[in-house]
Amino acid sequence: MTNNKTQCSICNKDKITYPCEGCLKNFCLMDLTKHRQILNEELHHIINDYNQFKQRFSEQKPNPHDLSLINQINQWEIDSIIKIQQKARDCREIVIKSSQTCINDTEKKFNDLNEQIKQIHSDNEFNEINLNYLRNELIKIKEELNNPPKTSIQQHCQPFINEISIIFVEKKLKFNNWNQNAITVAGENGYGENLNQLYLPAGIFIDKKKNIFIADSHNHRIVQWKYNANEGQIIAGGNGKGNRMNQLNYPTDVIVDRQTHSIIVADWQNRRVVQWVNQNQQILIDNIDCGRLAMDKHGLLYVSDWKKNEVRRWKMGEYNEGIVVAGGNGKGDQLNQLNFPAYIFVDEEQSVYISDQNNNRVVKWRKDAKKGTVVAGGNGQGRNRNQLHHPQGIIVDHFGQIYVADFCNHRIVRWREGKKEGEIVVGGNGKGNQSNQLNVPMGLSFDDEGNLYVVDYLNHRIEKFEIIM
């Protein structure tokens, strides 16, 4: 019986466990029941969200007959009399058919999604993958309804009549802007070890409640600043520099694992990745020159190794050698190499973005790729728009736009993949401690509203740049 027991990912006890294919973790019977209850609650949230949106869609269903366009067509028909009556009928048909097609497509997607929800709910066989799929499908339908194709009339000058046709305007990328003067949400009381102070913070994580988790590196601790709090609280470390289980040694990054309600820390000088659950600790990965951390939607853990110049991926609960997903071919500047990889970001397709610090570039490695592609910088060290100077924190938005903490240039820049240069979004006003200045920025994060958070390293503070709607 002992041979049949494995460690439960919740209680961490050796018991007979059952795997969950959604989150790829093992649970004992008691914790499996709790896990299923959580999944049931998430499903009900999705169903409620779907029903509310369906009701709003029914109440606000757009009129397929776009009256402004029809009126223009009718006026054109009157002015051109008999010669253009046939053309007017053709254009009306295009407008009505296009609008009706959009509505029919949306209704069909609603109905398809409804059937899938019913089937999953009825079968009672679902996991995180199913729920993420349902949630993402509903988001897509909302976006399509809120951003329908725009139509207008285009006139063509010809003898006697003006030809018209229907044109569709493609949706463009949304370029967000942020207030250039930041609000300090943590620190800014000088460097120190008091709870209202930070000392060279490095990495941050923002949860759904806008609580900020900070790797307070030179205080050898992880602190949590709750939303609008005046000081933080220590949730890991804070017992002096050291290698005991209750100590940290220059932590550089922190992420929150929502499944296990734990925090995972890159304990840099101790060369280990540690998990903390309510002040209980366990070493997940040992003997690793860990730089920064990331976790994908499947709960897989990614760690950058600055000495081996690689990024590895681990399945939670299976911390053996891991899998190299970027680099691993020695230090260098070739597309299959890295030179001091720092921060990492993993997108929905499990592509890994790496701030390749000493190569002054950001590289993207698609899943299972043998080499990366340069998506920002890569033109030598400098401060021009096509250059970076020791890039650090990176995040990628839903449009694939890449945001980079340009460390030595004291600015945050945005790059669109395929473009030859970036644009400054905040900072770039010289090194300083004013609200529109940064002093070697490190970690980056967005909250759910799109506000931009920056770890202002040498100013010992966390800055929040509010989005301008």
Q: 172 in a domain, yes or no?
A: no
Same domain, 334 and 383: yes
Same domain, 90 and 208: no
- Domain end, chosen from 167, 200, 217, is at 167
CA 27 to centroid of chain Cα atoms: 28
Categorize the per-residue pLDDT at 157 as very low, low, confident or very high, splitting at 50, 70 and 90. low
Same domain, 271 and 248: yes
Q: 68 in a domain, yes or no?
A: no
Residue, of 290 and 91, whose pLDDT is higher:
290
Query: What's the sign of the alpha-carbon dihedral 152, 155, 156, 160?
Result: positive
pLDDT value for 93: 81
Residue 202 pLDDT exceeds 60 = yes
Query: Helices 29-59 and 85-123 sit at what angle, rounded to 10 degrees?
Result: 160
Residue 99 pLDDT exceeds 90 = no
Same domain, 275 and 380: yes
Q: 73 in a domain, yes or no?
A: no
Lowest-confidence pick of 27-31, 85-89, 274-278:
85-89
Categorize the per-residue pLDDT at 206 as very low, low, confident or very high, splitting at 50, 70 and 90. very high
Domain that holds residue 123: 82-167
Q: What is the DSSP letter of 104?
A: H
Q: Where would I find the H helices in 61-84? A: 67-80
Same domain, 285 and 244: yes
- Domain end, chosen from 167, 191, 226, is at 167
Phi and psi angles of residue 93, each rounded to the nearest 5 degrees, phi first: -60, -40
Q: 342 in a domain, yes or no?
A: yes
Q: 60 in a domain, yes or no?
A: no
Same domain, 228 and 282: yes
Same domain, 255 and 291: yes
Alpha-carbon distances, residue 282 vs 318, 319, 411, 460 (angstroms): 13, 12, 37, 29
The CATH number that applies at residue 263 is 2.120.10.30
Phi and psi angles of residue 105, each rounded to the nearest 5 degrees, phi first: -65, -45
Same domain, 190 and 284: yes
Same domain, 11 and 39: yes
CA 58 to centroid of chain Cα atoms: 32
Categorize the per-residue pLDDT at 1 as very low, low, confident or very high, splitting at 50, 70 and 90. very low
Report how many domains make up the chain.
3
Antiparallel, parallel or unpaired: β 280-286 and 411-416: unpaired
Residue, of 70 and 211, whose pLDDT is higher:
211
Same domain, 44 and 96: no
- Domain end, chosen from 38, 55, 72, is at 55
Same domain, 193 and 129: no
Q: 214 in a domain, yes or no?
A: yes
pLDDT value for 45: 77
Residue 338 pLDDT exceeds 50 = yes
Antiparallel, parallel or unpaired: β 233-237 and 391-396: unpaired
- Give per-residue pLDDT as tens, 22-43: 878 888 989 889 888 888 888 8
Please provide the DSSP assignment of 114-143 as one string: HHHHHHHHHHT---HHHHHHHHHHHHHHHH
Same domain, 139 and 44: no
Please provide the DSSP assignment of 296-361 as one string: -TT--EEEEETTTTEEEEEETTEEEEEEEEEE-S-BSSSTT-BSSEEEEEE-TT--EEEEEGGGTE
Tell me the percentage of the chain whose pLDDT exceeds 90: 55
Query: What's the sign of the alpha-carbon dihedral 132, 138, 142, 143?
Result: positive
Categorize the per-residue pLDDT at 83 as very low, low, confident or very high, splitting at 50, 70 and 90. low
Q: 72 in a domain, yes or no?
A: no
- Give per-residue pLDDT as tens, 212-233: 999 999 999 999 999 999 999 9
Please compute the mean of the pLDDT values over residues 283-290 and round it to a whole number: 94
* Average pLDDT along the chain: 88
The region that residue 134 occupies, defined by phi over 0 for left and psi between -120 and 50 for alpha, beta otherwise, is alpha
Q: How far apart are CA 250 and CA 259, in angstroms?
A: 26
Q: 40 in a domain, yes or no?
A: yes
